[in-house]
């Protein structure tokens, strides 16, 4: 199936898709999502903090072409999801994912999680393994590490004034070290507009300060099939390859290391990620 896909483009060549945003009430807020259809098994894709569900726009057409049903959701505080919550943790977002799977009545699902949302995928599998067929962890941040220059500076300075959206966007730009999608400027403008909405940057600041020790504690207990994808130039880690190999060993899987890619290998180099992802999904028998 994957062999027939067109993967020649060097980076995402699509424009931001028009979406039909839907909402699911969860606790004190509501989760925004879109459902692009498809008659196959459900793939639920969750973006990382400080980004929107459109980050899966490069993979979406390839996965749809392969026959999967693709649902993407905005995490708490972001996108069209409610801005203010009592809990912004990866575990809370994992519970939101399970609520959405139940609402769609389409489980078990494969959950894709980028960055901190990789922890959300692991939490969903931990809490309801019957509803999670497998997890795909993209640029996964699932444990606390030595704080980067960004983490040390962000709370103290970067989020302390009217420049805070610009500060975040400068960091976000650095997460694409090799190449940016052709619609990167449009995506940046959409993200900037969203982060300027009341409560959005406060939510992001809270999330940045959260420990991931609880997520790290469940990694070795995970029993669902997993695919780990890491770029060799991911600035979130002092040694991205070592981090990927640690997580792959803990989950019993060989990671996909994408040479030259940053924190968004699935968006920066979809042609490198899609074949392995589609092979992983096919081996699950999920098509």
Distance of CA 39 to the CA centre of its chain: 23
Over residues 151-179, the pLDDT tens digits come to 556 666 777 778 889 999 999 999 999 99
pTM: 0.91
Domain that holds residue 223: 2-284
b/e per residue 259-285 (b: at least 16 CB within 10 A): eebbbbbbbbbbbbbbbbbbebbeebe
CATH number of the domain enclosing 89: 3.40.50.1820
Residue 6 pLDDT class (50, 70, 90 cuts): very low
Cα separation, 69 vs 195, in Å, equals 29
Number of domains present in the structure of the chain: 1
CA angle 281, 285, 287 (to 5 degrees): 70
Are 77 and 85 spatial neighbours (Cβ–Cβ below 8 Å)?
A: yes
| pLDDT band of 39, cuts 50, 70, 90 | confident
Alpha-carbon distance 96 to 94, whole Å?
5
| pLDDT score of 159 | 73
User: For residues 188 and 173, is the Cβ–Cβ distance under 8 A?
Assistant: yes
């Amino acid at each position: 199936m994957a062999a027939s896909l067109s993967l020649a483009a060097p980076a995402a060549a699509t424009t931001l898709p028009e979406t039909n945003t839907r909402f699911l009430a969860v606790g004190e807020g509501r989760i925004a999502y879109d459902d692009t259809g498809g008659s196959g098994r459900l793939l639920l894709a969750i973006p990382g903090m400080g980004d929107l569900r459109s980050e899966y726009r490069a993979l979406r057409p390839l996965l749809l072409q392969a026959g999967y049903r693709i649902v993407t959701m905005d995490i708490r505080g972001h996108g069209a999801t409610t801005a203010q919550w009592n809990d912004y943790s990866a575990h809370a977002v994992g519970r939101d994912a399970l609520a959405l799977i139940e609402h769609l009545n389409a489980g078990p699902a494969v959950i894709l999680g980028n960055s901190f949302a990789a922890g959300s995928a692991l939490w969903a599998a931990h809490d309801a393994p019957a509803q999670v067929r497998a997890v795909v962890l993209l640029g996964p941040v699932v444990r606390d590490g030595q704080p980067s220059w960004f983490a040390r500076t962000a709370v103290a300075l970067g989020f302390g004034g009217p420049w805070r959206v610009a500060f975040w966007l400068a960091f976000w730009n650095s997460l694409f070290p090799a190449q940016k999608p052709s619609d990167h400027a449009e995506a940046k403008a959409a993200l900037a507009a969203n982060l300027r909405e009341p409560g959005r940057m406060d939510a992001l600041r809270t999330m940045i300060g959260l420990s991931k020790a609880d997520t790290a504690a469940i990694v070795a207990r995970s029993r669902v099939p997993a695919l780990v994808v890491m770029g060799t130039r991911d600035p979130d880690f002092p040694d991205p390859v070592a981090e990927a190999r640690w997580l792959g060993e803990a989950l019993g899987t060989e990671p996909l290391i994408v040479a030259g890619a940053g924190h968004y290998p699935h968006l920066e180099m979809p042609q490198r990620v899609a074949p392995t992802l589609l092979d992983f999904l096919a081996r699950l028998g999920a098509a």
